[in-house]
Amino acid sequence: MSEQTETQTTQCKCIVAVKIRGSIDAGRDARATLQMLHLNRTNHAVIIDDRPAFTGMLRRVQNYVTWGEASKETVLLLLKERGKLVGGRKLTEENVHVLGFNSLEELAQAIVKGEVEYWKLDVQPVFKLHPPAKGYKGKTKRSFSSGGESGYRGDKINELVKRMS
């Protein structure tokens, strides 16, 4: 059994979810789901994996968030520029040693491969981002597949996160 769970966690994809709309008019279920994902404010991002519980949560709030598979470079960019420890201190190379990793690159690689779950580390689970440079390309109320910004966007999330950090 333990061998099966090990292979299952190493096959997980790393997903970055960004809240792009306010949720003041959202239903109670959507607001509760956003709170469980730690997406309490607009332009906040989280790193999760693609287990069915998380993908179901993302589908429930797809009108308020956008998400996709993150590359190692994107995860490293988020950790370097926006990563914080629980006390509010910046996540640096020295602080990563306390978490049990040699460098930020090693931590980013472990997150992308699914070897470690970011929200279970002793760090803040949320990345506070800027609004995207040159704005959103489409309307935030429309889905990405129909020319908007919300919902699933695949590997194009890397481009958006780069513009927001």
Kindly list the domain boundaries of the chain, sorted by start residue: 2-147
In this predicted structure, what is the pLDDT of residue 79? 92
Record the pTM: 0.86
Q: Which residues of the chain have pLDDT under 70?
A: 1-11
Neighbours of 81 (CB within 10 A): 12
Which residues sit opposite 127 in a β-bridge? Answer: 45
- pLDDT tens for 105-140 read 999 999 998 888 888 888 899 999 999 998 888 888
Sign of CA dihedral 28, 29, 30, 33: positive
Neighbours of 48 (CB within 10 A): 24
In this predicted structure, what is the pLDDT of residue 6? 46
Rg (the chain; Cα; Å): 16
User: Residue by residue, what is the 3-state secondary structure of the chain?
Assistant: CHHHHHHHHHCCCEEEEEECCCCCCCCHHHHHHHHHCCCCCCCEEEEEECCHHHHHHHHHCCCCEEEEECCHHHHHHHHHHHCEECCCCECCHHHHHHHCCCCHHHHHHHHHHCCCCHHHCCECCEEECCCCCCCCCCCCCCEHHHCCCEEECHHHHHHHHHHHC
In this predicted structure, what is the pLDDT of residue 131? 93
- What is the assigned CATH class of domain 2-147? alpha beta
In this predicted structure, what is the pLDDT of residue 7? 44
Residue 150, token pair as written in the block: 């919300």
CA–centroid distance for 141 within its chain: 20
